[in-house]
Amino acid sequence: MADSDPCAGLEDGPWVLAHLGQSLDGRIATASGKSHYVTGQENIVHLHRLRALADCVLVGAGTVAADDPALTVRHVPGRNPVRAVIDPMGRLPRDRRIFTDGEARTLVLTGTVDGPGERFVLPARPEGIAPADILSALRGLGLSRIFIEGGGRTVSGFLQAGLLDRLQIAVAPMLIGSGVPAITLPVIDSLDSALRPPCRIHPMGADVLFDFDLRKNS
């Protein structure tokens, strides 16, 4: 892969890469949770390339509840990754596609034993399941290339925990004006505390992909 390829460097693991497709004003969906589609077809194909390169595609319960995604590889050649969802309270119904279509293995990182999918019970504290515990569980299963496909709360949790190697944000030239936020982090007082990691910029159809290298930030 050429260095200008946003998938460069992902052939071998381990890595943790998160991606969000957001509007110019930082929203990934409307207030009612509609996200189809913020970004264009080129970005959708890119997402499928990331799935094909990953051992595991990980999402939060909010994404499965709102979108009922299949999380399979359809727009490019390649095999389906293991699917994983963080569902601490076991709120997801059994009829979600990831539990019924049989297209790939589906893991549930959860605080409750009862429910669909292959369940891995992890300590669920009031602030949630520690992202480090989630990564350890996945790595314990031999999954070393982890693609976090959203949503905003899930990606923000891993970013805040310092566990992302790369963060890709595709920005679409649209304004939603309200709705589900992309990245949310604790309040900072001074812009000296803002994250300014090294970044490559890739035009992607009408969108622009920002590829942050967080390994070089520490």
Ligand X SMILES: NC(=O)c1ccc[n+]([C@@H]2O[C@H](COP(=O)([O-])OP(=O)(O)OC[C@H]3O[C@@H](n4cnc5c(N)ncnc54)[C@H](OP(=O)(O)O)[C@@H]3O)[C@@H](O)[C@H]2O)c1
Q: Footprint of ligand X on this chain (CB under 6 A)?
A: 20-21, 28-29, 33, 35, 38, 59-63, 66-67, 86-89, 91, 128-129, 131, 149-154, 157, 180
CA distance 122 to 50: 27
Indicate the residue among 126 and 189 with the shorter CB distance to ligand X. 126
Close Cβ partners of 144 (under 8 Å, ≥ 6 residues apart): 13, 14, 15, 55
Indicate the residue among 11 and 63 with the shorter CB distance to ligand X. 63
Indicate the residue among 6 and 150 with the shorter CB distance to ligand X. 150
CA distance 61 to 46: 23
Indicate the residue among 46 and 145 with the shorter CB distance to ligand X. 46
CA distance 50 to 163: 18
**Placement of tokens 């891993």 in the chain:** 158
* CB 168, min distance to ligand X, A: 10
| Residue ranges with strand state E in the chain | 15-23, 27-29, 56-60, 82-86, 106-110, 118-121, 124-125, 128-129, 145-150, 166-172, 180-181, 199-204, 207-213
Indicate the residue among 130 and 141 with the shorter CB distance to ligand X. 130
